[in-house]
Structure 1
């Protein structure tokens, strides 16, 4: 007996849904999707011949019909998308001067806005209605975060649009540092710890974390506490008391030639620092003269005073000169013992000479190792050494120029 073939299909509203063919021979049935590349649908040992060719012909015709229908639907969908896009563009061009948008929170709030309103102004409206601080508001539209300085028109927010509002635990605080006369602004979260705040103060204010005492409402805030436990609120200030740990890092410029870096304590005396330099550089402490420049003038530091009493601060630079003993030999063969600093000038040496000898300025000059010492230059420039001799020569004698 020959096989009988028929097809049952559903309406082609969804062209991509597979259609099922059924075939059978006697009590035996089978099925195949319309996209199956079968040339023969017979089952149960049926004979192939004209019937088989007919079945194959019917199957290919139906496949072509499905493909054509699918192509037509795709074309219609593309046309629909183009129309919707043109409609959206037209609606943006025809925006009224005033319209409403909707902000999604736990509840919806309608706001009267203008397309020129900024996101910051929208936050102000929400704050006045709902009492939510602007710093705690984060707005989104179409999955995009809205920036405060941008306008609604920049994000194509149209009438009856819905904007999503997320409330964060953010808080803005002013931090006052009286010791340095500075006030800084910090954007914080109530979930941060006091230690986290100190780290931000160190970054922005330059106050080392371990030297900060953070005060709020007259109470000291402990490092391990969370800000939400401290009762902080917008509009109030934190105060930072600076409590130095005593650690200082100073630089010492030796004779203007090299720099020595030292880690010291604020209670060290100047004599202690000189001893450290002697250990590192081999310069006798008794010959060292430490100075610092303040307000354009040089000040010699006293050996018995502490660095704190001398107002030495972290990262300050000190100048180190050596005191030297040398001899002034007159043209008469007389010798004077001089105790000067390497930073002293030739002018200062000549003043000392004129105080001790009946000699007038302008009739003599100083001579050292074949060079004339010029006014305004320092002893360091000519490398006048300890226990060396400087000659006094009259102007009418032979002058050897430097």
Structure 2
């Protein structure tokens, strides 16, 4: 059918539409013709009296429009509220009144108020795209009646271990429960000015247990947050343990393939870092999936967690936008908060997020990663900040 769209000045334009098209779709169709956003369009018809076409989810035929009908158009200075649905991972659907000019963060706040799901645990998906913090809903073409799917972000239980040497000196370290003893040694060696091969670790739980299997994980030894690990620095290096590597076949959509060797306990984030140079791309742009179609989307999970074994094929897609990942910021009170970032973001952008979440002024924040201070104006990728990384925040002295 053909509808006549008329504005208050008398100007008319005709538009062909399907009778089953919704009012929301009609607005999307005519908005470019009048250089306006769909959320600012008010439609009505006159049939003895004025009838507002204000239900975006209703169809053109629901309002008894027919070919040749005239629809009056008013362009408002403020966006029109609309209803969208948010479906959680339990299958429950709730309705939210929004405008398309609202931000993703504002929608998340509304979801929190209604469902009590913490904002930093919400992962919102629409049309296969993850809605990113700081963006507007109109950036994703969300319309009246749209359904946004919410899943929960994987919460990583970072644990804090106390490392104690024979002199009684203690230092704390943050580790992932899936980290290996070998990785733990690598992490703490610089703290004690020693080589990892000279570190001997043990715990006391009724009896002394040597943590002498470098390929075992922290959780394999039943360590938990607050556990004390005794450290002895040997004068002779510890014999190297041979760990069998896993061979994976990485293939992209163009047919290019590359064999890579990784440890079974390597994380997906580490795999991306390993693969990226072979395909001449940044790790943050890589999306990986197993041959069975499973998306390898949790960078902190290990290759083994996804059931990959030697000989497995991993498909690689290079995205045009960086894939968000989680990092941790530990303040000087020992409190840890999670932040969703991309490595193309700047240090200043991360500092602003910290300010918004913790209230710490930007000029007082001093961020440290891998012993380096993160400088204003630099990008996070300059410091090789990866998924699951812990950044330490101390406060600058005032006037210093």
- The TM-score, its normalising length taken from structure 2, stands at 0.30
TM-score, normalising length: structure 1: 0.30
Q: Which has the higher helix share?
A: 1
Greater CA radius of gyration, 1 or 2? 1
